[in-house]
Amino acid sequence: MRITMVGTGYVGLVTGTCFANTGNDVTCLDIDQSKIDKLNNGISPIYEPGLDELIQRNAKANRLHFTTDKAASYENAEIIFIAVGTPSGDDGRANLQYVLAAAQDIGDAIEASNDTREKIIVVKSTVPVGTNIKVQEAVASRTKKTFHMASNPEFLKEGAAINDFNKPDRVVIGAHTKYAADKMRDLYEPFVRQGNPIFIMDIPSAEMVKYASNCMLATKISFINEVANLCEAYGADVNEVRRGMCSDKRIGNQFLYPGLGYGGSCFPKDVLAMISMGQDIGHPALLLESVHKVNQDQRDAFMTKINSHFDGADWSKLKIAVWGIAFKPGTDDIREAPSITLMQKLLEKGATVTAFDPVAHETAEEVLGDKITYAEDAMTALTDADALIVCTDWAEFKHPDFEAMNDKMATPVIFDGRNIFRRSTMREFGFVYHSVGRAVVSKETSKA
């Protein structure tokens, strides 16, 4: 099939590349010329394992194209996916200006086109229920020709997006016509040959599936953090509590890891959007309001531990090391990352901050600039540090040389926001160790 993907952000680029990899002819359209230039040189503007190689292979096979030319992109497309950003506004509502602008452009192109085929317009962006109607109206305001609407929410995890797309748990398609539903089913058939389902449903339900899914996962994260805070107050160990709780098959163990809370481009935005959807219809989403508050408070609670430990200290003389900047491992995405919040608070107090992340230095510099120092490796970040804060649970952080760490640091103090270290190990190597939902390890060895 001939496919046009509007937007070369995370969703659009991964989706377009994976479709091209199954033999479709895909054109990725973006208004950012510098991004298109990079892509035409085989360089992905985002970090996603395996994506560069996939882009290069399909571009070389002439199945994957990148352009800023709207008219050429839309002319022969059978299916047009809208995959532009829907950032949260100040009130938490999804900003639809880019989605609706794309819809108007598509309407203009359909009207001017000599292609007699009835095009399918698919909203891939995460949008509130009712947005497809607005897109349909925006397109129809520019053309009298027949077109079909569909909704196709994405369920990609950053750091594992290619595998998620190629082996989806499910594919959700909202469509109001059999023509659109059948074409979309044909497009996705190669990805579900292991028997995973393609769900065809009405468009409002498809729009809601994405929000319901992400908000459920966010709720699990806030729930386990609430449990962790209670464990800490009562002297229980949240890791043991989690182990006992998650052995119940009705509960499971996914997304039930205590820490600094969720971040990234999806959960924070989608929780706020669903809260706004409830407000707009007069049905407050009370549970999700609490989920959001618990998540935001979790960072403040962790900063309180740091403040308490350094009570009375001259912050201008403190050097703090940070391991991990990205909101999760496997990505360079720092949107709503807890690390950014914590580092900004530390800078406000006057501390010197040195951070290391395997892939997120460049994206961090866009936000923090030269306010912090970016170390070349994890151990270098620890040089003369008064404390280490672990913000991201990258695999390479989980089994370091603790003896070397102790030697590098001015004082052996760790604030572990991801609970990646064993308390017994911390005690063995003489660290003061603060984690989430567990008692403090207070044994400290003096340094020669």
Residue type, 124: K
- Phi then psi for 284, rounded to 5 degrees? -55, 135
Angle at 20 between CA 80 and CA 175, to 5 degrees: 35
Coil vs helix vs strand at 82: strand
- Among 367, 372, 365, 370, smallest CA distance to 347 is for 372
Question: CA-CA distance, 237 to 143, in Å (whole number)?
Answer: 62
Tokens of 317: 């003389």
Burial class (CB within 10 angstroms; exposed 0-12, middle 13-18, buried 19+) of 421: buried
Q: Which amino acid does the sequence have at 36? A: I
CA dist., res. 307 & res. 301, Å (int): 10
Is the dihedral angle over the CA atoms 382, 388, 394, 400 positive or is it negative?
positive
Of 18, 28, 215, 266, the catalytic one is 266
Q: How far apart are CA 17 and CA 153, in angstroms?
A: 17
Query: Is-catalytic flag, 266?
Result: yes
Question: Rounded to whole angstroms, how far apart are CA atoms 417 and 405?
Answer: 17
CA atoms within 13 A on the CB side of 124: 29
Active site residue ranges: 266
